[in-house]
C-alpha cells in the first residue's frame, strides 16, 4: 500500500502541524480549526496530482484553450466530529465533490476500554467513484476501519484515499491489513511511534475533537 508521509518533506505544512501540536498554541480553537483546514487544502492539492486527467477544449472569448482537468468522481467522507474542519479544507479545493458523513465515537466501558459506535451515515452511492476518507487522527485505526465498512453499504469505490494528519505506526499497520492493498493510498502529515494505555497517540496532539469544538461531557 502506498503511504505518503508529508513530514519527510520540508514544506509550510509542517508549520501548521507544529501549531496544532503545540500546547502553547493549540488552545486557540479558531487557529486550531483553521490549521486543520489548511492542512486539508495542501493535502488536497498534492492528492490531485494522482488523479486521472484528460484534455478538454475550453472556449475562451478569443479562441479554444486545451486544458487538462481531472476526471475522477470524488466523494469526500468524514468521520465526525474532528474530521469536520479537515473535510472543509478538502472541499475548498474539490468543490465538485460529493460528500458523506459518518459518526464514530468511543464509548468507554471503563477508563481504558472502549467500543467504537457508528450510529449515523449520510452518503451518496460510491460505486466506481474515488472515495477520500478524512479523519485527522488515526490512533488504533478502528474508527477508520469501521467507517469504511459502513461506507461499503453505499457501494464499491474504484479507489480509496485515506487522509489523516497524525497517524500512529500501529494504525498504519492496521490499515495496511484491512484495506484493499491495490487501490488504497494513505496520506498523513506525520507518523508517530506510539499510542498510550488510553489509545491516544504519543506525542500526538491530544484530543482533536475537543480542541476543535470543546470538551464533551
Using CB under 6 A, list all residues that contact ligand URA: 82, 137, 139, 200-201, 204, 207-209
d(CA 116, CA 139): 12
Which lies closer to ligand URA via its Cβ, residue 89 or residue 209?
209
How far apart (Å, rounded) are the C-alpha atoms in residues 124 and 5?
29
Given the rule CB under 5 A, which of 70-78, 120-128, 165-173, 208-216 is the region that contacts Mg ion?
208-216
Q: Residue 29 phi/psi, 5° resolution?
A: -60, -35
Query: Nearer to ligand URA by C-beta: 36 or 126?
Result: 36
* Chain residue whose CB lies nearest ligand PRP: 209
Edge to edge, what strands does the sheet with 190-192 contain?
137-138, 166-168, 190-192
**Site membership for ligand PRP, residue 115 (CB under 6 A):** no
Q: Answer yes or no whether residue 164 interacts with ligand PRP by CB under 6 A.
A: no
Does 82 participate in binding ligand PRP (rule CB under 6 A)?
Answer: yes
Torsion angles phi and psi, residue 18, rounded to 5: -65, -35
205 forms part of the interface with ligand PRP (CB under 6 A):
no
Q: Which of residues 120-159 bind ligand PRP (CB under 6 A)?
A: 135-143
Q: Which does 37 bind (CB under 5 to 8 A by kind): ligand PRP, ligand URA, Mg ion, none?
A: none
207 binds Mg ion (CB under 5 A): yes
Give CA separation, 73 vs 67, 82, 95, 98, 130, in Å.
18, 25, 11, 8, 6
Radius of gyration of the chain (CA): 18
Closest-CA residue to 189 (of 1, 19, 25): 19
Output the smallest distance, CB 159 to ligand URA, in A. 26
Residues that bind ligand PRP (CB under 6 A): 79, 81-82, 104-106, 116, 135-143, 171, 199, 207-209
Amino acid at each position: 500500500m502506498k503511504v505518503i508521509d508529508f513530514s519527510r518533506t520540508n514544506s509550510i505544512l509542517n508549520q501548521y502541524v507544529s501549531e496544532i501540536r503545540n500546547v502553547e498554541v493549540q488552545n486557540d480553537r479558531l487557529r486550531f480549526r483553521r490549521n486543520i483546514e489548511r492542512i486539508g487544502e495542501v493535502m488536497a492539492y498534492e492528492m490531485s496530482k494522482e488523479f486521472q486527467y484528460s484534455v478538454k477544449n475550453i472556449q475562451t472569448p478569443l479562441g479554444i484553450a486545451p486544458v487538462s482537468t481531472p476526471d475522477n468522481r470524488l466523494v469526500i467522507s468524514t468521520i465526525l466530529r474532528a474530521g469536520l474542519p479537515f473535510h472543509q479544507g478538502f472541499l475548498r479545493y474539490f468543490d465538485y465533490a460529493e460528500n458523506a458523513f459518518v459518526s464514530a465515537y468511543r464509548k468507554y466501558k471503563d477508563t481504558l476500554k472502549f467500543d467504537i459506535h457508528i450510529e449515523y451515515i449520510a452518503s451518496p452511492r460510491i460505486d466506481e467513484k474515488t472515495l477520500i476518507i478524512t479523519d485527522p487522527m488515526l490512533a488504533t485505526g478502528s474508527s477508520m476501519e469501521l467507517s469504511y465498512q459502513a461506507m461499503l453499504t453505499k457501494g464499491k469505490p474504484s479507489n480509496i484515499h485515506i487522509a489523516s494528519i497524525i497517524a500512529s505506526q500501529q494504525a498504519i499497520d492496521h490499515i495496511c491489513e484491512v484495506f484493499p492493498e491495490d487501490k488504497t493510498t494513505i496520506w498523513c502529515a506525520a507518523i508517530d511511534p506510539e499510542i498510550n494505555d488510553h489509545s491516544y497517540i504519543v506525542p500526538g496532539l491530544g484530543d482533536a475533537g475537543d480542541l476543535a469544538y470543546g470538551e464533551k461531557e
